[in-house]
Structure 1
Amino acid sequence: MIYFINQLIVFDSGDRTLAWQARENEAVSLSIPVSRLFETLITNPGTLLSRELLMREALEKHALSPSINNLNNYVSLLRKVLREFDLDDAIVTVPKSGIIFNISDVNVIENNRKDKELTGVAEAGKATCSTAISLASSVQREKRKRYFFAGE
């Protein structure tokens, strides 16, 4: 899925990238656990999510080690990335309760719509699936990617 945040930022959960809408070629890549954590938060904006729920949904379901320390590291890495996108206060920790994603302007866009935008074709019916896929993969190769790991 592709999410537009505050009408300025694009999060592509399939590619695990975060970018300014006007500069998608300068996308920041997220590690798998950070991306899953972010997607869990972004699909529940304004909702208090317990640490146990976040560990279960973002880590345990994907065979990652679900511990409070790991979750705290991933939240810290996510905050670090979000600062680059002027979303310093997007993640609010409520002591002894959980975490809230404090952004209400989140729009979900279908993957096929993104592919059609990449082809630059105005009419949806003119783009073929293979053209959209090959163009999307060539755009991905051109993206400058930075990786964030738990050790940083």
Structure 2
Amino acid sequence: MLFMLSNALIFDPDTQKISLAGQPDSAVTLSAPAVRLLLEFIRNRGEELSRETLITRVWQDFGYTPSGNNLNKAVSEIRKAFQSLGVHASPIVTVPGKGFYFDADVTGQKRLCKAATIEPVPPPQKTKPSKRKLSLSTQRPYCLAALVVSILIGGGYLFSEYAMKSSKAIKLPNEKLGQCTVWRINAPERPITLSKLPILLSENNLDCQRNKYDIYYFSTRFPLTNADEIFIGSCPENKKNLCKTIRYKSGVEK
């Protein structure tokens, strides 16, 4: 299970790392006691926890010697990790004479069980369609799929806790928008509608009437937050220019 904290950080208890969303190289490694303490705060977000309760749940229940000094060290370690990643307002709030409470937005995301795959769909023609798999040298759609999945884990930024039961797939483009080629990236149970795409592209100064782009379009719904997440990757055909990533969060799509 991964956790998004303060709409900016990704916390991975399994690897004991906390990092900026979408920037795994920024990861800070926490000690085992600090990981257990942060998990306890996450499970009881917004609830005042006494020092005695935390010491019992984080140390004594795991067979370690209970110590107020150990609690202080773990709290300090978590605060320093947040500060080093640019979150200077500590989410761990001290309640004088009582204990602490955790004041941060928290959303959870189960790990993806399967990696993104590429499945070719031949363009309509009279000749017999080829069944040959796309070569890994076709870098753009594959990289964009990995980027989208990465952003979904780290960058969404209100993830709800649900299981991703099926792998994402890329199909060869079957949509044209002006001079742009549209690639759909989506789970089978979540069909994509492209009616919003021209407006979203226009808002981000992407003119498909004048310029040629490869457009990678992905959307998903998070049922617990009752909202849709839309991710758009746009790559100009001139490969010397960088691709652009656009993300939207909206209400339920009808």
The whole-number CA distance in structure 2 between the counterparts of 1:22 and 1:87 is 19
If you compute each CA radius of gyration, which structure gives the higher value, 1 or 2? 2
* Larger relative contact order, structure 1 or 2 (CA cutoff 8 Å, min sep 6): 1
C-alpha change, 1:90 and 1:54, in structure 2 (3 Å) is: same
C-alpha change, 1:124 and 1:47, in structure 2 (3 Å) is: same
C-alpha change, 1:116 and 1:12, in structure 2 (3 Å) is: farther
Q: Supply the AA of the counterpart residue of 2:93.
A: V
1:126 deviation in Å? 6.2
Task: Give the TM-score, by structure 2 length.
Answer: 0.44
1:112 deviation in Å? 3.3
The whole-number CA distance in structure 2 between the counterparts of 1:50 and 1:116 is 42
The whole-number CA distance in structure 1 between the counterparts of 2:92 and 2:75 is 8
Contact 2:46/2:101, CA 8 A, preserved across alignment: yes
The whole-number CA distance in structure 2 between the counterparts of 1:82 and 1:64 is 26
Identity %: 32
Q: Supply the AA of the counterpart residue of 2:46.
A: G
Superposed CA deviations along residues 19-72 of structure 1, whole A, max 9, x for unmatched, are 001211321110100111111112211110111111111111222221111111
Matches within 5 A, 1:35-50: 35-50=35-50
The whole-number CA distance in structure 1 between the counterparts of 2:62 and 2:25 is 29
The whole-number CA distance in structure 2 between the counterparts of 1:112 and 1:58 is 28
SS at match of 1:53: helix
Matches within 5 A, 1:77-92: 77-85=77-85, 86-92=87-93
SS at match of 1:112: coil
The whole-number CA distance in structure 1 between the counterparts of 2:14 and 2:71 is 21
Matches within 5 A, 1:70-109: 70-85=70-85, 86-103=87-104, 105-109=105-109
C-alpha change, 1:44 and 1:116, in structure 2 (3 Å) is: farther
Q: Supply the AA of the counterpart residue of 1:125.
A: S
Which consecutive residues of structure 2, in runs of 5 or more, have no partner in the other structure? 117-144, 150-164, 170-254
The whole-number CA distance in structure 2 between the counterparts of 1:116 and 1:14 is 19
Q: Which structure has greater strand proportion?
A: 2
Counterpart of 2:11? 11
The whole-number CA distance in structure 1 between the counterparts of 2:50 and 2:94 is 10
Contact 1:116/1:124, CA 8 A, preserved across alignment: no
C-alpha change, 1:6 and 1:79, in structure 2 (3 Å) is: closer
Q: Which structure has greater helix proportion?
A: 1
1:87 deviation in Å? 4.3
Q: Supply the AA of the counterpart residue of 1:102.
A: D
1:13 deviation in Å? 0.9
The whole-number CA distance in structure 1 between the counterparts of 2:109 and 2:44 is 16
1:78 deviation in Å? 1.4
1:111 deviation in Å? 2.4
1:124 deviation in Å? 2.9
Which consecutive residues of structure 1, in runs of 5 or more, have no partner in the other structure? 128-152
C-alpha change, 1:42 and 1:77, in structure 2 (3 Å) is: same
Contact 2:38/2:78, CA 8 A, preserved across alignment: yes
Counterpart of 2:31? 31
The whole-number CA distance in structure 2 between the counterparts of 1:81 and 1:107 is 19
Superposed CA deviations along residues 90-142 of structure 1, whole A, max 9, x for unmatched, are 11110111101111x210111236x647x839793369xxxxxxxxxxxxxxx
C-alpha change, 1:52 and 1:9, in structure 2 (3 Å) is: same
The whole-number CA distance in structure 2 between the counterparts of 1:80 and 1:27 is 13
Contact 1:11/1:18, CA 8 A, preserved across alignment: yes
| Count of aligned pairs between the two proteins | 124
Q: Supply the AA of the counterpart residue of 1:94.
A: V
